[in-house]
Amino acid sequence: MATPIKLNQLRAFVEINRHGSIRAASRFLSLSQPALTKSIRELENSLGTKLFIRSNQGIYLTECGKGFLQRASLILEELRIAQEDIQQQIGLIGGVVNIGVAGSIARTIMPKVITQFHRDYPTVNLRVVEGQLLTMLPQLRQGELDFTVNTYYAGSLDAELNFEKLMEKEYKVIVRKGHPKANATSLEELADCNWTMPTPKDTYYRRLFETFSSLHHPPVFSVTCETLMSCMSLAAESDFLTIVAVDVVDEALFDQQFVALNLKEQLPFATFGLIQRRDTKLTPAGEYLARLFRMYCRG
């Protein structure tokens, strides 16, 4: 009969992987290195396999360790959420909510949402990760993100993620002020330009990429920038073109650096939604934050 796994063993395993060494994890957990080493040895004995490979270059997960990490992280996060859920229900407000947001959400809706959330839940800490859904999948799967407000392309992830539609956004091609193509009126005129956008996989950008692929001379996206800030920074300081939501175009400082092109082709609208694991349950604070995003996105 296998020896039961203990929570301190799971915490040791997850933190050693997160910090990259037993020494760093021992400092974080305020435990001795021998105690952590013992916990990992007992955990490996319980599982009947090695979880880490130790070398002069550091400590790395085995293939079994990589698979176990997702489950161990999820167990610890679910316990944290369960504890905070009970505490918040009985009036002991505290804890943390972890969310992800797309770049255009971070620049427009998020500040209003967080301002109201912090006013109503001042003792709850909030962690925000910006980026595309693809970069957030590991954290969503491991329970390290409660939800994300992002674009989603229906398909391979339907079985594990729940998508709740919040709104649609129009997108436009933008260039820096003084760009040689600042007066272009069609995508065909931009065929020889350099383009940048995030990875076209499981997001709005996949739909956009498929739309462009049907053109006689489709744009070539030679540089991939995973955040809106990176795309806009590159476009601002070069002749690269990128594509942003119209509410980003409407920002007060936009006209100082950029021009939004009025093209005859209508770019597809992006559908934004609240995305979370199908098997997850939010704490009262997390659910309140989700309601705020629903209200501001649909309002």
Burial 162-188 (b: 16+ CB within 10 A, else e): ebeebbebebbbbbbeebeeeebeebe
Looking at the fold, whether 155 and 203 belong to one and the same domain comes out as no
Would 280 be classed as within a structural domain? yes
Would 2 be classed as within a structural domain? no
Give the domain CATH number at 262: 3.40.190.10
Name the residue range of residue 70's domain: 7-84
Burial 15-33 (b: 16+ CB within 10 A, else e): bbbebeebeebbeebebee
Looking at the fold, whether 195 and 145 belong to one and the same domain comes out as no
| Plot region of 215 (φ>0 → left; ψ -120 to 50 → alpha; else → beta) | beta
Domain end (from 30, 57, 84)? 84
Q: Which structure tokens are listed for 97?
A: 């909510």
Would 147 be classed as within a structural domain? yes
Would 115 be classed as within a structural domain? yes
pLDDT of residue 115: 96
pLDDT of residue 197: 86
Per-residue pLDDT of the chain (299 residues; tens, 9 = 90+): 568 898 898 888 988 998 888 888 888 888 898 988 999 999 989 998 999 988 877 788 999 998 898 888 888 888 887 887 787 777 667 788 999 999 889 989 999 999 999 998 998 999 999 988 888 888 988 888 999 999 887 776 778 889 999 999 999 999 999 999 999 999 989 988 999 988 767 678 888 888 888 888 888 888 988 888 899 999 999 999 999 999 888 887 888 999 999 999 889 899 999 999 987 888 889 999 999 999 999 87
**What is the average pLDDT score of the chain?**
88
Looking at the fold, whether 64 and 182 belong to one and the same domain comes out as no
Would 181 be classed as within a structural domain? yes
- Cα separation values, 260 from 177, 209, 235, Å: 9, 19, 12
pLDDT of residue 238: 96
Looking at the fold, whether 177 and 221 belong to one and the same domain comes out as yes
Would 1 be classed as within a structural domain? no
How many domains are there within the chain?
3
Of 180, 190, 174, 199, residue with least CA distance to 257: 174
Q: How far apart are CA 247 and CA 197, in angstroms?
A: 17
Beta-strand pair 52-55/58-61: antiparallel
Burial class (CB in 10 A: 0-12, 13-18, 19+), 34: exposed
Domain end (from 84, 107, 139)? 84
Looking at the fold, whether 145 and 232 belong to one and the same domain comes out as no
Domain end (from 84, 103, 126)? 84
Looking at the fold, whether 247 and 111 belong to one and the same domain comes out as no
- Hey, is 128 helix, strand or coil? strand
**How long, in residues, is the chain?**
299
Q: Are 272 and 163 in contact (CB under 8 A)?
A: no
Looking at the fold, whether 175 and 265 belong to one and the same domain comes out as yes
Looking at the fold, whether 192 and 266 belong to one and the same domain comes out as yes
Q: State pLDDT tens for residues 48-98.
A: 899 998 887 778 899 999 889 888 888 888 888 788 778 777 766 778 899
Q: How far apart are CA 111 and CA 252, in angstroms?
A: 15
Looking at the fold, whether 94 and 80 belong to one and the same domain comes out as no
Give the domain CATH number at 14: 1.10.10.10
User: What are the φ/ψ torsions at residue 276 (nearest 5 degrees)?
Assistant: -150, 165
Would 24 be classed as within a structural domain? yes
Q: Which structure tokens are listed for 112?
A: 């209003």
Q: How far apart are CA 119 and CA 93, in angstroms?
A: 13
Looking at the fold, whether 23 and 91 belong to one and the same domain comes out as no
Burial 88-101 (b: 16+ CB within 10 A, else e): beeeeeebebbbbb
Looking at the fold, whether 189 and 264 belong to one and the same domain comes out as yes
Looking at the fold, whether 183 and 205 belong to one and the same domain comes out as yes
pLDDT of residue 92: 63
Q: Provide the edge-to-edge strand list for the sheet that holds 125-130.
A: 125-130, 96-101, 147-151, 270-277, 161-169
The vertex-298 CA angle with 263 and 260, nearest 5°, equals 20
